[in-house]
Amino acid sequence: MVLVTFAAAAIILDCINGTNNGCETFLDDKKISCNSADIGNLTIKSDLVNNTDITELSVFSSKSLILHYDVFHKMVNLNYLTLCDNKIKYLDSRLFSYLHKLIRLNLEYNNIETLESNIFSNLTNLTHLYMAHNHLKSLTDVKLFQSQTRLIILTLNDNNMRTISAGVLSPLISLKKFKLADNPFSCTCQVQEIILWPESKCINTRATCEEPRKFENEHFPFNETKIIKLNLNNNSIQSLKSNAFDKLPEITILQLSLNKLITLKQKLFYGLKDLIRISLDSNLLESLDDRLFRYQAKLITLHLHDNKLLTITEKLLDPLIILQDLTLKDNPLNCDCKLQSALNLVSKNKILSDAVCETPEKYAGKSWELMEKELECGSTITTQTVIIVSSGITLFCYSSVVVCYVCIRCRKTCRKRTNRHTNENVQYDDVETMANTSPKTASFSNTENLYDYPIFRNSYLSIIDSNVKSEPVIYDDVV
């Protein structure tokens, strides 16, 4: 029995490393091994298979093997059958009908594309089935393994399978080892049972998803709302719908590294309020919406390195009140004044960051923290256009707070009234006159109490904002 076991192991190894040419017999002619033999048509009349006492048969790397449906009908005592690397494309459903004692069947390294429904129906004692490195596209017939209740090992890795129908594996109650790696699976709910069933037996199939490239919430692990860590690294994901994580509200760690994401929807993380770590590094992200992390107040670590980001904004980071670690290296950051507010926030909150500038040229290669003092941005102010509807006035003024434009259209019947006012550094003319009266000159450098001026009282305001640099400017109140 020990000799037979070692011999069987040798047969499996021969699938990859056959050494002998032709056929040889061992163990009192009960074992036959053929390596790289030109066997041709193998029928029941062939001497090779005409011995009913054979317990082991190995045929691998045959140049022109053709299996007739009745070829094994006399080999009723066969325990081990290896048909490795023979370019077999098709297996007749009757091929193994008489092999009731077969324990191990090795069909690896062939070109098999489909399996007949009852191909294994009489192999009730089968414990090992090796079908890796073929061209199987799917397993959909629930009767395929109905007789394999004793099967311990099943290898289906390195095929072309995209799906396995629910119920195909359910008869395999004794399965201990199951290989599914290197198949282009489409991971939709159709493969739910195939994923969960091995896990219930503590079997690691090493299966990975080739599709979908785009994840939706129904793809995620099957209504499991208690997931706290989700790793989607290195899945070639190209896009994520805005509701992708809606069914997973308890996630604290989300890993999306090494994908192909270019943009992220504004509401993608809205339901994930317990996130403490997000990894978005090694993607193709070009920009981030200011509201992307609106509800991530618990976030501690944010990985954004190795993307195509040109800038980030203060509004993006502002909700992240306890952020400690921000990785931004290997992004083509443009270290201009638009980036300064985010830089100030990072410095103020003592957030660890590794960002390096790429442009402009004078800052290239510098840490953005080191060049903070070198930025020549001046004071940034807000420009507001104020339109006063009731009086038809537009007033122009510059300050560190507001720039206003007020147009005056006086009533046709009014008296000319000019009052000179002084408020700190503000000098202006309060003018009420005819439309064609000559202009007056005013200078505005502080408008802290702008709306207290008579000209703004009882007026309807419409405000539009933009950013400009503060410069000393003198304007005319045009009457």
Tell me how far apart the alpha carbons of residues 22 and 24 are, in angstroms, rounded to a whole number: 7
Cα–chain center distance at 160 = 22
Closest C-alpha to 161, from 129, 194, 117, 203: 194
Percent of the chain with pLDDT over 70: 65
Report the C-alpha gap between 381 and 290 in whole angstroms.
20
Strands 463-469 and 380-386 come out as antiparallel
454 compared with 297, residue with greater pLDDT? 297
- Segments of the chain assigned to CATH 3.80.10.10: 216-377
Reported residue count of the chain is: 479
Q: Are strands 333-334 and 357-359 parallel, antiparallel or unpaired?
A: parallel
Which whole number is the average pLDDT over 31-46?
72
Strand partners, 185: 209
* pLDDT given at position 213: 58
pLDDT tens profile 426-437 = 444 443 333 343
Tokens found for residue 73: 């009908």
Assigned token pair, 387: 């339109």
Once rounded to an integer, what is the mean pLDDT over residues 237-255? 89
Question: What per-residue confidence (pLDDT) applies to 425?
Answer: 44
Look at residue 223 and tell me whether its pLDDT is greater than 90: no
Work out the average pLDDT over 22-50.
Answer: 73
Q: Does position 206 have pLDDT exceeding 60, yes or no?
A: yes
Angle (CA) 373 379 382, round 5°? 140
Q: 419-440: string of b/e by CB count within 10 Å (b at 16+)?
A: eeeeeeebebbebbbeeeeeeb
**74-104 pLDDT, tens digit each:** 899 999 999 999 999 999 999 999 999 999 9
Instruction: Take residue 5 and report the two structure tokens written for it.
Output: 């076991």
pLDDT per residue over 108-157, tens digit each?
A: 999 999 999 999 999 999 999 999 999 999 998 999 999 999 999 999 99
Specify whether the CB–CB gap between 478 and 408 falls below 8 A. Answer: yes
Q: Nearest to residue 79, comparing CAs of 184, 27, 5, 10?
A: 5
3-state SS, one letter per residue, for the chain? CHHHHHHHHHHHHHHHHCCCCEEEEECCCCEEEEECCCCCEECCCCHHHCCCCCCEEEEECCCCCEECCCCCCCCCCCCEEECCCCCCCCCCCCCCCCCCCCCEEECCCCCCCCCCCCCCCCCCCCCEEECCCCCCCEECCCCCCCCCCCCCEEECCCCCCCEECCCCCCCCCCCCEEECCCCCEECCHHHHHHHHHHHHCCCCCCCCEEECCEECHHHCHHHCCCCCEEECCCCCCCEECCCCCCCCCCCCEEECCCCCCCCCCCCCCCCCCCCCEEECCCCCCCCCCCCCCCCCCCCCEEECCCCCCCCCCHHHHCCCCCCCEEECCCCCEECCHHHHHHHHHHHHCCCEECCEEEECHHHCCCECCCCHHHCCCCCEEEEEEECECCCCEEEEECCCCCCEEECCCCCCCCCCEEEEEEECCEEEEEEECCCCCCCEEEECCCCCCHHHCHHHCCCCCCEEEEEEECCCCEEEECC
C-alpha 14: how far from chain center: 40
Asked if the model's pLDDT at residue 397 lies above 50, the reply is no
- Which one is predicted more confidently, 23 or 463? 23
Q: Phi and psi for 13 in degrees, rounded to 5? A: -65, -30
pLDDT value at residue 97: 94
Which phi and psi (to 5°) does residue 56 adopt? -135, 130
Residue identified by tokens 């994908």 is 259
Domain 216-377, CATH class in plain words:
alpha beta
- Residues 6+ positions from 306 with CB-CB distance below 8 Å: 281, 282, 283, 329, 330, 331
pLDDT band of residue 373 (cuts 50, 70, 90) is low
Cα distance between residue 69 and residue 98, in whole Å: 11
pTM for the full predicted model: 0.49
User: Quick check: 217 pLDDT over 70?
Assistant: no
| Window from 32-41, 315-324, 382-391 with minimum mean pLDDT | 382-391
